[in-house]
Amino acid sequence: MAFNSLILRLELVHSKVNFGEVASAISRAGGDITSIDVIRPGQDSSVRDITVHVAEIAEASLIESLKSLAGIQLINVSDRTFLAHLGGKISVQPNLPIKNRDDLSRVYTPGVARVCTSIHENPKKAYSLTIKRNTVAVVTDGTAVLGLGDIGPHAAAPVMEGKAMLFKQLAGVDAFPICLDTKDTEEIIRTIKAISPIFGGINLEDISSPRCFEIETRLAEELDIPVFHDDQHGTAVVVIAGLLNALKVVGKRIENVRVVVNGIGAAGVSICKMLLAAGVSRLVPVDRDGAIIQGGTYPHPMWQWLADQPQVESQPGTLKEVIRDADVFIGVSRANLLNAADVQRMAANSIVFAMANPQPEIAPEEAIPHVRVFATGRSDYPNQINNVLVFPGIFRGALDCRARHINEPMKLAAARAIASVVSERELNEQYIIPSIFNEQVVTEVRKSVIEAAILTGTARRIPPDFRSSGGAK
Ligand SMILES: NC(=O)C1=CN([C@@H]2O[C@H](COP(=O)(O)OP(=O)(O)OC[C@H]3O[C@@H](n4cnc5c(N)ncnc54)[C@H](O)[C@@H]3O)[C@@H](O)[C@H]2O)C=CC1
Ligand SMILES: CC(=O)C(=O)O
Ligand SMILES: [Mg+2]
């Protein structure tokens, strides 16, 4: 169950209500008071901030019960999540202070002009003399934000700022959110190309399918820096990592399992492709209209590609039909599509990754008693299968070796690296995937990605820690 921390600012009229009554009302509604601050004391009335820990589903009734108490005025309700977003979540910091005119003339005019000229003469120097080598653009058009859909570029910004924070904190990569006010494929491509000179990589985020496929393919062809649509490939990499470990837990082999993937959009297409590359031989891709079947005809080019694959089943059906006897369910669609009875009909020792954000395809409480391994994309349950395990390390590696592309071998190497962070001894139903706070994740992903980039010839630089030994020290 998800919990929230609310800060309730209340005015109490002392002749009508006392604090004990307020505390009892909060407790009856399921809230735990964690702190009380008196904001304005007074003889007749007082204003207090009461911090309350409460289940998300009980929030509305708690607020209603306080409003119904005589002598109470509810001045404001803020939750800590909103407070964490006040003023935005990132800022730009200088690397060195400007203390005097001498400093100024070095970092700015006239000194800077010599540096500009040097880059003009040799554009490669942008990597050593500007922020390019460590900076990634996190670009969205706001059309497929989490599972919230097309909420636009302004509303998408908190997610992009969040990704930028994670890039920095987990991998030391400076990332900048770019929220584009256009849904036009050509305009998006043109704009990203136009802003690309300052960036060492482009992380596309939350751009809806099918446009996301063309945008990524075209940019990868036309730019000489890595372009990575996180919702496609970051998600596929982390799913493969989790699946490799989950299969070990349940004692099944990837070649033998029947896998249902629900939601064949950005994430679903890439997951299906990577599952096939990893050896899955029985795949059932499902979207709104039911299973995408072998031999079928589809307007969506990626669905058509799937329909042409021999591993894709030819039996039509709705999600509720095709989930029967599946060994693995992977959901990257939307909230609340399955119930306990559906997952009970899966094969014994089933694996369910319900990854729609913020609400999964099935509530964890409903699924967990009936499946062997359960995972979501959320941080408040065990087994968080989220692309945050991937993009920081993959870009760290790609930037450090100045990879031109992030190719399939680099992605597979990243998936294996993430899986390997959980040792055989540690592996169990509740622990198939490492925590994002496990420092080994970025280190291992970076190392494996650089090795794969060097082997496949896409690296344009050998990082110092790879130079003498032929591998990371
Ligand atoms: N945990 C993680 O790391 C990640 C989770 N996701 C989640 O996966 C979901 C999809 O994300 P994207 O692929 O980026 O979006 P998308 O918009 O590209 O694709 C969503 C797909 O789901 C399909 N869909 C919608 N309702 C459906 C239904 N009732 N049954 C079957 N299919 C249905 C749509 O037709 C579409 O093809 C979102 O909830 C997102 O938050 C996405 C990326 C990473
Ligand atoms: C995690 C992520 O990228 C998404 O849900 O869209
Ligand atoms: Mg996303």
Ligand 1 atom at minimal distance to the Cα of residue 386: 3
When divided into structural domains, the chain yields a total of: 3
Pair 304, 192 in one domain: no
Query: What does residue 330 show for φ and ψ, rounded to 5 degrees?
Result: -125, 115
104-122 burial by CB neighbour count: b if 16+ within 10 A, else e?
Answer: eeeeeeeeeeeeeeebeee
- Sequence-ordered list of residues with C-beta below 8 angstroms from that of 55, at least 6 positions apart, any chain: 1, 2, 3, 4, 30
Bridge partners (DSSP) listed for residue 290: 287
Please report, to the nearest 10 degrees, the dihedral formed by the alpha carbons of residues 176, 180, 185, 189 taken in order. Answer: -40
> Has residue 417 been placed in a domain?
yes
Contact indicator for 245, 433 with CB cutoff of 8 Å: yes
Check whether residue 209 and residue 264 sit in a common domain: no
pLDDT over 90 at 469, yes or no: no
Query: Would 57 be classed as within a structural domain?
Result: yes
Query: What confidence tens digit (pLDDT) does each residue in 108-142 have?
Result: 999 999 999 999 999 999 999 999 999 999 999 99
Nearest-atom index, ligand 2, CA of 386: 1
386 lines ligand 2 (CB under 6 A): yes
Residue of the nearest CA to atom 6 in ligand 2?
A: 146
39 domain-assigned:
yes
Say if 102 falls within a structural domain: no
Cis-peptide, bond into residue 94, ω within 30° of zero: no
Domain presence at residue 99: no
Dist CA 423 CA 434 (whole Å): 10
Question: Does 218 lie in the same domain as 184?
Answer: yes
Q: Is residue 395 part of a domain?
A: yes
Do 200 and 247 lie in one domain? The reply is no
Query: Which member of 163, 252, 411, 447 is catalytic?
Result: 163
Residues 214 and 265 in one domain: no
- 411 flagged as catalytic: no
> Which SS3 state, helix, strand or coil, does residue 442 take?
helix
**Which distant-in-sequence residues (6+ apart) come within 8 Å of 295 by Cβ?**
307, 314
Indicate whether residue 231 lines ligand 2 (CB < 6 A).
yes
Share of the chain above pLDDT 90, in %: 92
Q: How confident is the model over 332-367, as pLDDT tens digits?
A: 999 999 999 999 999 999 999 999 988 999 999 999
Please list, in sequence order, all residues whose beta carbon lies within 8 angstroms of the beta carbon of residue 158, skipping any fewer than 6 positions away.
85, 89
Looking at the structure, tell me whether residues 163 and 238 fall in a common domain.
no
**What are the tens digits of pLDDT across the range 140-196?**
999 999 989 999 999 999 999 999 999 999 999 999 999 999 999 999 999 999 999
Which CATH number do you get for residue 219? 3.40.50.10380
Is residue 93 a part of any domain in this protein?
A: no
Distance CA 193, CA 191 (A): 5
- Whether residue 330 is found in the same domain as residue 467: yes
Tokens of 232: 């496609």
Q: What is the DSSP letter of 312?
A: B
Same domain, 162 and 289: no
Q: Are residues 429 and 404 in the same domain?
A: yes
- Look at ligand 2, atom 4, and give the residue with the nearest C-alpha: 146
- 283: domain CATH number is 3.40.50.720
Q: What is the pLDDT of residues 437-448, one digit of tens each?
A: 899 999 999 999
CA distance 169 to 438: 12
What does the alpha-carbon distance between residue 374 and residue 137 come to, in Å, rounded to a whole number?
33
Whether 124 and 66 map to the same domain: the answer is no
- Whether residue 390 sits in one domain with residue 246: yes
Among 85, 119, 142, give the residue marking a domain's end: 85
Let me know whether 211 and 242 are in one domain.
no
Structure tokens given for 319: 């999600």
Return the ligand number nearest the Cα of 387.
Answer: 1
Q: What is the residue range of 285's domain?
A: 234-473
Angle at 24 between CA 20 and CA 29, to 5 degrees: 155
> Residue 315 class from Cβ within 10 Å (0-12 exposed, 13-18 middle, 19+ buried)?
exposed
Q: Out of 15, 50, 85, pick the residue that ends a domain.
A: 85
Note the pLDDT tens digit of each residue in 225-253. 999 999 999 999 999 999 999 999 999 99
d(CA 243, CA 19): 52
| Global pTM value | 0.88
- Catalytic status, residue 16: no
The closest of 92, 81, 90, 212 to 157, measured between CA atoms, is: 90
Q: How far is the CA of 439 from the centre of ligand 1 (A)?
A: 29
pLDDT given for residue 415 in this prediction: 97
The 3 state secondary structure assigned to 7-64 is EEEEEEECCCCCHHHHHHHHHHCCCEEEEEEEEECCCCEEEEEEEEEEEHHHHHHHHH
Residue 121 lies in a domain: yes
Report whether pLDDT(370) > 90: yes
CATH number where 41 lies: 3.30.70.1150
Q: What is the token pair recorded at 468? A: 């003498």
Q: Mean pLDDT for the chain? A: 95
Atom of ligand 2 nearest to the CA of 388: 1
54-83 mean pLDDT = 91
The answer, yes or no, to whether residue 382 has pLDDT greater than 90, is no
Q: How far away, in angstroms, is 263 Cα from ligand 1 center?
A: 5
471 has a pLDDT exceeding 60: no
